[in-house]
Amino acid sequence: MHKTAFFTMDVESLYDSLALYQKGNQYNQKYSLEENLRYYLDLLEKYNIKATLFVVISSLNKCEGILKEALKRGHEIALHGLNHKSPMDMTDEEFILSIREGKKILEEKFNTKIIGYRAPMFGINEKRIEMLKKEGFIYDSSNLSFHLALKSGGIDLSNYNKCLNLVHEKDNFYEFSLAKVKAYSGHMPISGGGYIRLVPWFVMKYYILKFLRKTDSYIYYCHPFEICYSKLPKLSNINRREWMYMHQGRFNLLRKTKNIIKMLKRKKFDIMNFKEYIEKRQENC
Ligand SMILES: [Zn+2]
């Protein structure tokens, strides 16, 4: 079995997090933290890993230079929306404008073809996938389908071809899904972000290892604000649960990420970005 893992990041502002976005905390460039993506890239590069970076256009001014450098070093740039509004809250016209304009801006700024998309807040459905295809995208990586992820959607993959456990293809369009495992009385996402930060590491490690024993694919994601050694700004109107979500586990997420890389290497996973995976598949056809 050929095993493949993918490392990604949703390059967005601290203020794009749902807890802040809903409570009206105004964007403050001084604390928005997009530039912290460099710590993630530094770690990945130690292991020669090329990631896919899903970029929110409204965050570009803080990290355009780092992204240009990342692209030169072999990482992939893809789209995470014009802003961070969930497509589930958009009209069709608004969604089409968001992906069309977003793609155009990234292609002009970075002089590279943009083929991938991840929906803000994983807000995807089949209608949105058809729109992505029409606008020239070749893959999506938004399928999480987790009931606790507010504003997320979901896709029925039953009529797709299964390339890997988490990779499906239909009419040359690919869906890279985020993994969940059966845990406690329901499901638990194990692909990254808040879940890896907030769930005690011995529990998360147990479930990731259990998953890796029987899977042929794994996808990891995180956000710049989650990898940070500096304090967060004062945030207004957030409750204790939201405060925990924003703060907890930020100081050791990189260490956990490193542990996950080591687990994948021990289990002989190839690690590449989505674009590379699709190119390799097409070469072999
Ligand atoms: Zn996001």
pLDDT tens figures, 231-257? 788 777 788 888 888 888 888 999 999
In this predicted structure, the answer to whether residue 184 has a pLDDT above a threshold of 90 is no
Q: For the chain, what are the domain ranges?
A: 4-284
What distance in angstroms lies between residue 272's CA and the mean position of ligand 1's atoms? Answer: 21
What distance in angstroms lies between residue 222's CA and the mean position of ligand 1's atoms? Answer: 9
Residue type, 204: M
What distance in angstroms lies between residue 263's CA and the mean position of ligand 1's atoms? Answer: 26
The structure's pTM equals 0.94
Positive or negative, the CA dihedral 154, 160, 163, 165 is positive
Distance CA 75, CA 4 (A): 16
What distance in angstroms lies between residue 254's CA and the mean position of ligand 1's atoms? Answer: 18
DSSP-derived secondary structure letter, 192: B
What distance in angstroms lies between residue 285's CA and the mean position of ligand 1's atoms? Answer: 33
Distance CA 114, CA 275 (A): 9
Distance CA 177, CA 143 (A): 5
pLDDT of residue 160: 95
What distance in angstroms lies between residue 283's CA and the mean position of ligand 1's atoms? Answer: 31
What's the token pair of residue 190? 């194990």
What distance in angstroms lies between residue 83's CA and the mean position of ligand 1's atoms? Answer: 9
Distance CA 42, CA 248 (A): 22
Distance CA 40, CA 110 (A): 20
What distance in angstroms lies between residue 177's CA and the mean position of ligand 1's atoms? Answer: 15
What distance in angstroms lies between residue 250's CA and the mean position of ligand 1's atoms? Answer: 17
Closest C-alpha among 179, 194, 254 to residue 6: 179
What's the token pair of residue 207? 């479930």
Superfamily the domain 4-284 falls into: Glycoside hydrolase/deacetylase (3.20.20.370)
Query: Are the C-beta atoms of 270 and 216 separated by less than 8 Å?
Result: no
In this predicted structure, the answer to whether residue 198 has a pLDDT above a threshold of 80 is yes
Confidence grade of residue 151 (pLDDT, cut at 50, 70, 90): low
First to last CA, the chain: 18
In this predicted structure, the answer to whether residue 1 has a pLDDT above a threshold of 70 is no
